[in-house]
Amino acid sequence: MIRSESTEMYLKTILELGTGKEPVAISQVAERWGVTPVSANEMIKRLAEYGMIRHEPYKGVSLTETGLRQATNILRRHRLWERLLVDHLGVDWAESHDAACQLEHATAEAVTTALDAFLGHPTTCPHGNPIPDPGQPVNEAETRPLSTLEIGQQATIICIHPEETALLNYLAEHGIYPQRTVEVEEIAPLDGPLTVRVGEQRTVIGREAASRVHVAV
Amino acid sequence: MIRSESTEMYLKTILELGTGKEPVAISQVAERWGVTPVSANEMIKRLAEYGMIRHEPYKGVSLTETGLRQATNILRRHRLWERLLVDHLGVDWAESHDAACQLEHATAEAVTTALDAFLGHPTTCPHGNPIPDPGQPVNEAETRPLSTLEIGQQATIICIHPEETALLNYLAEHGIYPQRTVEVEEIAPLDGPLTVRVGEQRTVIGREAASRVHVAV
DNA sequence: CATGATTTTTAGCCATGCCTATAATTTTGT
DNA sequence: ACAAAATTATAGGCATGGCTAAAAATCATG
């Protein structure tokens, strides 16, 4: 009832979309998780009954203590799997996200612990996102979206967030991943694409995608 | 529809219980997989419709080409995970079975392949059972159940099959696992327990459990 | 402050997978 | 050959997690 794959995905989605204090709109959850708003609403109702989330009508949802703890755990499992898949099994950087999404719901606590130890207690996933300590909420790094840089500014890519396979594939093809240095060369008007330089390469990237690439100046 | 966790479990169960040519009784499937015969029957009907199994009424079920291929794949994933869990992550030998049962349904093909390569193409799981090559059916080793030995006979433990957590825990506690040598010292009448020597240790083991320990003389 | 957009709820429906209870059928053992 | 045991089928239910369609409530903006 409380640890089905569905409920876990909802909790994780709410955690990932929640930037800070403000609640997350149900429509956003529905869209990201690919269900209709009605379905999301029903599920949100159930999760609220279970005490995992708080629902302020017409505002959105936020996680309770319990919900936050569980969502954080799922995120932890997800990111640990990604590390194993990429670093040890040689699974593709972009593909690892989907694979971990499946595994995260099928992971016993003992496996999570063993995985963490085997990996040497890593602090970030291959896409740069922090791996929370067990029980602790994630503390986000000090970053800003690539889309907020100005022309000529240089920055280091910290993480891709929220992750999504199509996005990761696109970024991988263009050499955009954590640790690399980028410089914005041009910003098209009307929410148009950014032209950025990554190493020797020059790449054009849409505004929406750029807002998911977080950098430190 | 065709790759739900449930259907996978049914297919795997049928493969595990099927010793060779004869079909497997539905009641056996139901018992092993912990559902009522009625539920198993309904599921068997559906799987037959999907062309995964053949159902000969009052005889039992057997896998079709397609079903065999899929079931074999699941077994392959299961046993590869067990190897990773035990050999690399240090998960308990007995616990690894349940953990792998969960993971096997959440494993993409790319992950299976990567896992196999990382592990160096292992041929058996930690409980001694063969890891099938992709697409190939398993070919069982030449073994006989420990319960068929006579007093004084010595043999090498090859595998535990079918696996089950309670059984594995019991066996682990008594030092009974693949590669070890056993000698039968006493056989109680009326399907009673066997007294066996394993190394320096003397252990009493039930007939049912002994029938799941497969040895080579 | 009214109207249009958004959010929420209700109603009705579907598939999956499980259950119990009961009945019909086939197999098997004496 | 017949009764007991095993197998299969039918009927009716339940929970989860989806869906569409349509109505109701609230928000936001001109």
Residue A179 predicted with pLDDT over 80: yes
Structural domain for A187, as ranges: 144-216
Q: For position B129, which CATH number holds?
A: 1.10.10.10
Contact with chain B for residue A90, Cβ under 8 A = yes
CATH number, position A207: 2.30.30.90
Within a domain: A72? no
Nearest nucleotide, CA A33 to C1': D18
Supply the pLDDT for residue A20.
66
pLDDT tens digit sequence for B84-142: 999 999 999 999 999 999 999 999 999 999 999 999 999 999 999 999 998 887 777 78
Statement to judge: residues B14 and B56 lie in one domain: yes
The pair phi, psi for residue A27, each rounded to 5°, is -60, -35
Q: Does residue B69 fall inside a structural domain?
A: no
Last residue of a domain, one of B92, B109, B139: B139
Q: Is residue B80 part of a domain?
A: yes
> What's the number of domains chain B is made of?
3
Q: In Å, what is the CA distance from A202 to each residue of A105, A175, A205, B61, B185?
A: 39, 10, 10, 61, 77
Q: Which residues of B are less than 8 Å from A110 in CB distance? A: 91-92, 95, 99
Q: Which of A63, A82, A101 is the last residue of a domain?
A: A63
Mean pLDDT computed over B154-167: 95
CA distance A188 to A182: 17
For residues A102, A108, A112 and A117, what is the CA-based torsion angle, rounded to 10 degrees? -140
% of chain A exceeding 70 in pLDDT: 99
In a domain, A18, yes or no: yes
Smallest CA–CA distance, residue A105 to chain B, in Å, is 8
Query: What's the CA gap between A66 and A53, in Å, rounded?
Result: 8
Same domain, B169 and B132: no
**Residue at a domain's end among B42, B63, B84:** B63
Closest chain B residue to A5, measured at CA: B106
Query: Does residue B189 form part of some domain?
Result: yes
Residue A159 placed within a domain = yes
Tell me if A80 is assigned to some domain.
no
pLDDT tens per residue, range B12-55: 999 999 876 778 999 999 999 999 999 999 999 999 999 999 99
Instruction: Determine the average pLDDT of the residues in A137-155.
Output: 88
Q: How far apart are CA B50 and CA A28, in angstroms?
A: 37
The answer to whether residue B68 is domain-embedded is no
